């Protein structure tokens, strides 16, 4: 689904990513850990194609196509979607209007909004006066309307209370599963067939792992992925024990 090769990215003239390699297959959910300022959001921004994140080397391949030089719009159309860490307020644009655009005119917006408890928010300006949890749920709703094949989530649980984390976890599972099939309710065959989408989730606390099954974890440190391709829960335990820099030693 996604193959990143030796990616170098500059932000504000400063090199942030210095050779990132990452391979995400269809059906896989990856988790990205890393200290503040290590470039996690930069990596998502570069995958999505935001101009601020200047790619100075390497390439990004999505579904076999080199997307390194494509616009955000083209990448979204190919099936990449992102939920921001700190989404902007959009005055004068109602959430319902935005959803009709991201959802390409789909008619089931009200149905999608129900489980996220956002059915009364559709007439309101996007994120204007929303609480932290409401902002994050509104991001999930935008992604559900878009239904991308590759789901990029930047700290989906940050600033969200425990009850809302469960709701967001449900939405993430719905996003990552074809037709919203849920893991615990299906056979092995259905499990394999249901998991065609892919996810990359940034998390600091790992709380979201209590709700969302994830396959592989990585640590972004010093501009590269280290401790790559390990079980996310084991990796989180190691980080908690010895810190980001030494997670490799902990696992050996």
- Under the criterion CB under 5 A, does residue 41 sit at the interface with Mg ion? yes
DSSP state of 9: E
Token pair recorded at residue 2: 């996604």
Cβ atoms of 211 and 170 closer than 8 Å: yes
State how far the Cα of 194 lies from the Cα of 178, in Å rounded to an integer: 5
- Exactly one of 38, 138, 203, 228 binds ligand ADP (CB under 6 A); that residue is 38
**Nearer to ligand ADP by C-beta: 47 or 135?**
47
Number of residues counted as binding ligand ADP (CB under 6 A): 12
- Exactly one of 29, 142, 146, 167 binds Mg ion (CB under 5 A); that residue is 142
- Exactly one of 29, 42, 142, 146 binds ligand ADP (CB under 6 A); that residue is 42
End-to-end CA distance of the chain: 30
- Under the criterion CB under 6 A, does residue 11 sit at the interface with ligand ADP? yes
Beta strand 150-154 with 80-83: parallel, antiparallel or unpaired? parallel
Q: Given the rule CB under 6 A, which of 37-45, 137-145, 208-216, 221-229 is the region that contacts ligand ADP? A: 37-45
Give me the helices (H) in the chain, please. 40-48, 72-78, 95-102, 109-113, 132-146, 162-176, 188-194, 232-242, 247-251
Q: Which does 11 bind (CB under 5 to 8 A by kind): ligand ADP, Mg ion, none?
A: ligand ADP
Query: Site residues (CB under 6 A) for ligand ADP?
Result: 11-12, 16, 34, 36-42, 52
Query: Site residues (CB under 5 A) for Mg ion?
Result: 40-41, 85, 142
């Amino acid at each position: 689904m996604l193959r990143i090769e030796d990616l170098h990215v500059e932000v504000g003239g400063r090199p942030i990513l210095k050779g990132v390699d990452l391979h995400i297959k269809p059906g896989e959910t990856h988790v990205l850990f890393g200290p503040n300022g290590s470039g996690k959001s930069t990596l998502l921004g570069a995958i999505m194609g935001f101009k601020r994140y200047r790619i100075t080397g390497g390439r990004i391949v999505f579904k076999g196509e080199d997307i390194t030089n494509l616009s955000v719009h083209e990448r979204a159309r190919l099936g990449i979607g992102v939920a921001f860490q700190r989404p902007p307020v959009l005055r004068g644009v109602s959430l319902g209007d935005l959803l009709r655009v991201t959802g390409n005119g789909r008619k089931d917006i009200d149905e999608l909004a129900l489980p996220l408890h956002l059915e009364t928010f559709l007439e309101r300006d996007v994120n204007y006066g929303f609480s932290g949890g409401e902002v994050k749920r509104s991001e999930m709703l935008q992604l559900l309307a878009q239904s991308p094949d590759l789901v990029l989530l930047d700290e989906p649980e940050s600033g969200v209370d425990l009850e809302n984390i469960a709701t967001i976890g449900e939405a993430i599972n719905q996003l990552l599963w074809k037709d919203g099939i849920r893991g615990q309710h299906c056979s092995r065959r259905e499990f394999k067939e249901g998991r065609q989408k892919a996810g990359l989730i940034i998390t600091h606390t790992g709380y979201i792992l209590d709700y969302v099954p994830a396959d592989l974890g990585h640590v972004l440190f010093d501009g590269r992925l280290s401790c790559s391709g390990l079980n996310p829960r084991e990796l989180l335990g190691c980080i908690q024990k010895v810190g980001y820099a030494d997670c490799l030693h902990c696992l050996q």
